[in-house]
Amino acid sequence: MARPAKPTNLKIVTGNPGKRGLNKQEPDPDYLNDLTAPGYLSGDAQAVWDQIAPKLRESRLLTVVDVPILAMMCESIAEYRRATIYCKDSPLDHSEKTGGYVLSQWKIVQSMSLKQIMLIAREFGMTPASRTRIQIQPQGELDFGDGQNYFT
Does a structural domain hold residue 82? Answer: yes
Does a structural domain hold residue 66? Answer: yes
User: In total, how many domains does the chain have?
Assistant: 1
Does a structural domain hold residue 71? Answer: yes
Does a structural domain hold residue 59? Answer: yes
CA 68, 81, 131 angle in degrees (round to 5)? 55
Q: Per-residue pLDDT averaged across 26-31, rounded?
A: 67
State the Cα–Cα distance between residues 121 and 3, nearest whole angstrom. 16
Does a structural domain hold residue 54? Answer: yes
Quote the domain boundaries for residue 54: 31-139
pLDDT tens for 91-150 read 667 676 777 777 788 889 999 999 999 998 888 777 777 766 666 655 555 555 555 555
- Supply the pTM of this predicted model: 0.65
CA 91, 95, 98 angle in degrees (round to 5)? 170
Written as one letter, the residue type at 60 is R
Does a structural domain hold residue 8? Answer: no
Q: How far is CA 61 from CA 41, 68, 77, 88, in A?
A: 21, 14, 19, 35
Does a structural domain hold residue 79? Answer: yes
Does a structural domain hold residue 19? Answer: no
